[in-house]
Structures are given as C-alpha cells and as structure tokens.
Chain A
Amino acid sequence: MNPFEYTRASSRHEAATMAAGGATFIAGGTNLLDLMKLEVMTPERLVDINRLDMDDIETTADGGLRIGAMVRNSDLAANDMVRSTYPVLSRALLAGASGQLRNKASTGGNLLQRTRCYYFYDTAMPCNKREPGSGCQAIGGATRLHAIFGASDHCIATHPSDMAVALQALDAQVEVESATGDVRTVELESFYRLPGNTPHIETELKPGDLITAVIVPPAKGRRQTYRKVRDRASYAFALVSVAGVIDMSDGRIAHASLAFGGVAHKPWRNTEIEQMLVGETPSPNVFVRVADALLRDAEAQGDNAFKIKLLHRTLCAVLTELTEG
C-alpha cells in the first residue's frame, strides 16, 4: 500500500473541504482498502467520515425514508421500517457480501464501490477506467462479469452493488453536500453514468461532494422482491439480478418498477417495459413479451452471452412470483 496521511473529520464541512483539495473519503473501507492494497487506488490523503453524524434512518414528511450515508448495510437490512415497507431493499442488502462486511459497509460507500472487472483489479493490464486512455483489456478477453447493456468501445464493466439495484427500483435519490455547503438531491437514475468515452467518471459527483443520505420515497407497490443469480449460493457477486416492485388491483398489474443488476455500468432500468406491464392480467405470455422487449437491446461480449437468456428467465420468474396470489 502506498503511504498516505490520515485525518479523522470532525465535521461534514471539514471532510468536504479536504476532499475538494484532493483527499479521499474513507467510510467502512471495505472497498477502498481492498483497492489500495492492490494499488489500484492510491490516495495520498484519507479523510475518515465514520464518526460524522450521518447514521440515522428517519421517516420523511411524505412517509418515505431518509437513510444516513454512514448507516451500515446490516443495520439498514435489519431496520423494521425497511423490512416491512421496503423488503426489496432488505433482500438486496442481505444478498450482498457477508455478515462481517455488511457490518462495516456503509450506504454511501456501497453506492460508490468500484467494478469487479478482473482487469481493473490487475495493475499490469490496460484499463481505461483505472488509467484513462490505456485501453480496455476486457473487450475480447474474459467477460463473464461484464455488461450486456449500455457498454461502450472504451469500457464494458458492470456496477457490482446489489443495494443500488433495489434503490433504483424504489426511485431513490442521493443527497449530496458540496464543499461550499450547498445540499442537492440527485435521482439515482442520473447519479450513475454510462461509460461512454470517460469510464473513469462514474457518477455525477464533483470533487469534494460528500454523500450525506439516500432518500427513498414511499413504496409504489407492496409486492417486492430481489432475486440474485450467482456462481455460488452465498458470498458472491451477481451474474444477473432483478429487483421488482409491483402493485396489483382487481387481478391486473397496477404498477411495476424493475431494475437489473450485473448487466450494466449502473443499475439498469427500462421504463418502457414497466409501462407494457401496467393494466395487464399476469400470464406467462405477457412476461415473455416483456422480457423479449427488455433484451432486444442486449449485446453479448463473448463469455457473457449466457446472461441474455439468464436475465430473460430471471425476470419471468420474478414477475411470476410477484403477481401470484
């Protein structure tokens, strides 16, 4: 690990000011330290935000939730309000990492965890995300973990978070405080960027921007689930995942929000297929038609061609489960 200076921030403003001057925030450290040991990330200054007062889960005036950026993944998953009103979020968190890691991993850090692309992790390899302009070794290489939606000629990596996929299906917003003290909220949908020709720029955050909270509006459906398909039953990243939020009325689908993990540079959403579902009486034919429409834009990258069929089936299974009974 490269040497660095360590400071424990005593206020959000101090933290944001230091970050605007080039320092890197450290929260749980479970992703950052992993990457620092491999010298994939080499910050010269770390600013510790663990003891800032950002670990509350509060209900908002409209009946939603405001989740502090330092709320640990395990506390969020076990929160009574989350378990009863946003089970898709509990399920996604519980499907990620391990008990030990969830005890450290924070809400803000989880959103900003980096890709698990093998070449990004290997400093001997070219990688446009790690070293802009160096090339992309994944294209034409090993692509089991890589994207089938929204990839570019510069990067085909996926975002690895499970939590973010559930938050995307719940229409969450990210609350950000800048070094000047301005607070703004950004829709998760526009928070993450597609790789384009700047895969090293992953979000709308500017230097010094501190995530202070995630805001979740009231759930639009009570029927929720998160299904994750992976190479082993636990403690592995998603090959594909589906977060679903459905509401039914008189035997018809009244609302559908769907987000997909393991398939793109950000949690993938396709509102067109959600609209196709509204008003329909659930049936295998409807689900197949919707899954066909989702995967019409999918593009395989060699090894990962299996994801197209896998996502199709996983989506149909989730829709079946959520519309039953």
Chain B
Amino acid sequence: MKTTLTVNGQLRHLDADPRTTLLDALRNHLNLTGSKKGCDHGQCGACTVIVNGRRINSCLSLACMHDSDEVVTIEGLGTPEHLSALQQAFVSHDGFQCGFCTPGQICSATAMLDEVEAGWPSHVSADVTAKQDLTVEEISERMSGNLCRCSAYPNIVDAIMDVAGSAKR
C-alpha cells in the first residue's frame, strides 16, 4: 500500500501492509523512534503525535488512512540544541523520571494548548459556553489521555503551566 506523508516537514514515502499503524510506520519504517508504544490500544497516550494540527493516538490509526496528511512527532517539535518551549519546560521542571511517556506528553500538551486557545471546554469546566483559564484541574483533565507510570504528574502539570499563556509552545 503506497502512502505519502509529510512528517516533520519532510515528504516521506511508504509502501507497507495496510495493517501498519501510523505508530509502527513512524517507528519501524521511518526510523522515528521518539513516539513510544505503551499499550497499542489507545489507553496510555505514549504514541501521541500531531496530525494536521491535532493530537491523536498513532497506535489506533492506520498509516494508509493518512495519505497526504501532515504529521508532527516529538522529533519535529525541537532538537537537542533548540528545544521547544515545552521540551525545555519538562527539563526545567523535572517533568519525567524514566522518560517513556514524555514524547507523548509533550506532543499532547503542545496540541492541547492550541485547543485551549481555540476556546474548547473540558469535562471540568464549570461553564461549557465560556473560554477557560488553564488551572491545575483543567490541565489534569485535558491531559488525562497521557498516563505516566512513574507518576511525574505534579511536575508535568508545572511544566505545562509554565508554557501556558505564552506565545511559544
């Protein structure tokens, strides 16, 4: 199955079995191993990438369904020399221990901040018609699709809070 994707700004061609998930395509075919496979069933968020500007679980999507889509992975957000604002904030706030969930956390948080800016409500918003301020409670709810087995949650929330409200992600 021939598929063309833009991954981190580069056109990439793929010829894989239709069963190949977007996650496996990234990791095994395109050698981008930043995105992690935790559960492979949509339950942990380790595989979160940004497709056409939106965060999704790449383990529950087929690569062939993404022909001509734009994919951004953790490798596309920043580089070791030039970290993105959220990558830097995770380092500054110790937002991880083993680091396995971190690429998914950072991709998820990057797109989550766009959702907040677009005015999307959440389950904990008192008034669904209003635009929300990003409180600790709001961050926890909006990031609930990203589990951290090391339970670095307080520092993850601090890192996101640090970047929230600034123009840079």
Which residues of A line the B interface, CB within 8 A? 1, 3-6, 8, 26, 28-30, 33-34, 37, 46, 48, 50, 74, 77-78, 80, 83-84, 87, 90-91, 94-95, 97-101, 103-104, 233-235
Among B119-154, those with CB < 8 Å from A are 119-123, 125, 128-129, 140-146
Kindly provide the distance from the CB of B164 to the nearest chain A CB, expressed in whole angstroms.
15
Residues of B contacting A: mostly? loop
A260 to B56, CA, bound (A): 29
Report yes or no: A84 in contact with B129, Cβ–Cβ below 8 A. yes
Report yes or no: A95 in contact with B123, Cβ–Cβ below 8 A. yes
Kindly provide the distance from the CB of A71 to the nearest chain B CB, expressed in whole angstroms.
14
Known: A5-B18, A99-B55. A50 touches B123 (CB 8 A): no
A4 to B64, CA, bound (A): 12
A98 to B41, CA, bound (A): 13
A87 to B67, CA, bound (A): 35
Report yes or no: B62 in contact with A29, Cβ–Cβ below 8 A. yes
Interface size classification for chain B:
35 or more
Kindly provide the distance from the CB of A64 to the nearest chain B CB, expressed in whole angstroms.
19
Among B89-145, those with CB < 8 Å from A are 108, 112, 115, 118-123, 125, 128-129, 140-145
Instruction: List, sorted by A's number, 18 A–B pairs whose CB atoms are closer than 8 Å.
Output: A3-B19, A28-B60, A33-B60, A34-B60, A77-B121, A90-B121, A91-B128, A94-B121, A97-B145, A99-B115, A100-B42, A100-B55, A100-B145, A101-B42, A103-B54, A104-B57, A104-B60, A104-B61
Contact among A1, A74, A87, A235 with B19 in the assembled complex (CB-CB below 8 Å): A1
Known: A37-B41, A100-B145, A234-B123. A30 touches B65 (CB 8 A): no
A4 to B17, CA, bound (A): 9
A46 to B19, CA, bound (A): 11
Report yes or no: A100 in contact with B48, Cβ–Cβ below 8 A. yes
